[in-house]
Amino acid sequence: MSTKHLLALLNSHIEGDEDQFLSIALQVAAQEARQGRTDDADKLKRLVQKARDQQRTGRPAGGQTPIPLARPRGELQGLVESSYPKVTLDSMVLAEDVRSRLIRIVRQQQERATLRNHGQAPTTHMLLVGPPGTGKTMTASALAGELRLPLFTVRLEALFSRFFGETAGKLRLLFDQIAQTRGVYLLDEFDAIGARRGDPNDVGEIRRVLNSVLAFMEEPNSTDSLVLAATNHVEILDEALARRFDEVIEYGLPDVNAAPAIVERRLGKFRFAAKAWAGIGSSLEGLSQGELVRAADAVVKDAILEGSAKVSPEALDRALRNRQVLKGKFHSRAGR
């Protein structure tokens, strides 16, 4: 394959243009045939034909919908971020109930053909609720990693600010992609569109958007994509919307057992002896998973720069207490 063909393939991959990608692959096949490598040329042609058959039917022989070559295109560019996470549920420290429910959902997704053969559908719509930094966003990455699917993240607050007056139409484009492309879709800050109808601050556009989402939740999920809605404010969600989720999973602050486990995992090779935790327990209280991770990262960076093989318990205790002080200041401002 020439450098010209390789550059063209990479460019079409980056642009997410699958038709162009397949067209270039056929050009490479023709070049292989001209150079007498007919077996390789025939293999390429068969693969291109198989890919085009999948484009027409939406599903290949194995039942999987093709994963997009790159990021969303057209009007969804800039509204939806795509990634291919490598993390799994084993990377997370979770409450046992939350872990078991997520494992069950992964199994339903992996064996969805069996469920459909018995007239059942896998769980596809999930509402993740809880304080900031408790693992909702990472759960979306872990589910995508477990299922080897792309993760598409939509920040709804940004969608409102950029396209107020057009939001319902933009969301329709997103719903169409979910119907066509299998993946894990994270609707972050979901309370931006899911607020109760009739709220004193409600406006017509928000009502139209909410009605669009309610209608979407009733549509068949032909790709069995996982749609995750994350919110820090479940109390303001419209009840009609909340009832349409297959699963509602609540995340809380790490307990006395989970908090040290999160920090130890983050410290990695820099962690200290278990007996040193005795004086740190109170510093862990009330901090979210995200806050614990940031405190651990801060002391690990210091240890690296100082050439230390271990993090000192005193340094970690200070970092955790600094996080508690910072959190207390934010809470006091919010209460004014």
The predicted-structure confidence for 263-308, as pLDDT tens digits, reads as follows 998 898 998 888 888 878 788 888 888 899 999 999 999 999 999 9
Residue-by-residue DSSP string for 252-289: ----TTHHHHHHHHHHGGG---GGGGGGTHHHHTT--H
Q: What 3-state DSSP class applies to 210?
A: helix
First to last CA, the chain: 66
Residue 67 and residue 64: Cα distance in Å, rounded? 8
Q: What are phi and psi of 169, to 5 degrees?
A: -65, -40
Residue 48 and residue 323: Cα distance in Å, rounded? 54
Q: Residue 234: what pLDDT?
A: 75
Closest CA to 226 of 63, 110, 81, 119: 110
Residue 185 and residue 175: Cα distance in Å, rounded? 10
Domains and CATH numbers, the chain: 3-57 (no CATH), 74-250 (3.40.50.300), 258-334 (1.10.8)
Closest CA to 102 of 152, 138, 154: 138
227 beta partners:
125, 185
Q: Residue 54: what pLDDT?
A: 63
Q: Residue 61: what pLDDT?
A: 44
Residue 309 and residue 65: Cα distance in Å, rounded? 48
| Contacting residues for 311 by C-beta, under 8 A, at least 6 apart | 267, 270, 271, 272, 299, 300, 302, 303
* Cα-only R_g, the chain: 24
User: Looking at residues 11-19, what average pLDDT do you find?
Assistant: 67
Residue 166 has pLDDT above 80, yes or no: no
For 217-263, write each residue's pLDDT tens digit: 888 778 899 999 998 887 777 777 777 889 999 998 888 888 888 89
Other Cβ atoms closer than 10 A to 314: 12
Most confident of 57-66, 84-93, 240-249: 84-93
Closest CA to 27 of 12, 16, 327, 15: 12
Taking a C-beta distance cutoff of 8 angstroms, is the pair 190, 231 a contact?
A: yes
Higher pLDDT, 8 or 303: 303
Which is it for the CA torsion 93, 97, 98, 104, positive or negative?
positive
Residue 2 and residue 83: Cα distance in Å, rounded? 29
Q: Residue 336: what pLDDT?
A: 46
Band of pLDDT at residue 62, cut at 50, 70 and 90: very low
Q: What is the tally of helices (H) and strands (E) in the chain? A: 15, 6
Whole-structure pTM value? 0.68
229 beta partners:
127, 187
Residue 8 and residue 15: Cα distance in Å, rounded? 11
Locate tokens 């199994």: which residue? 107
Residue 334 and residue 277: Cα distance in Å, rounded? 32
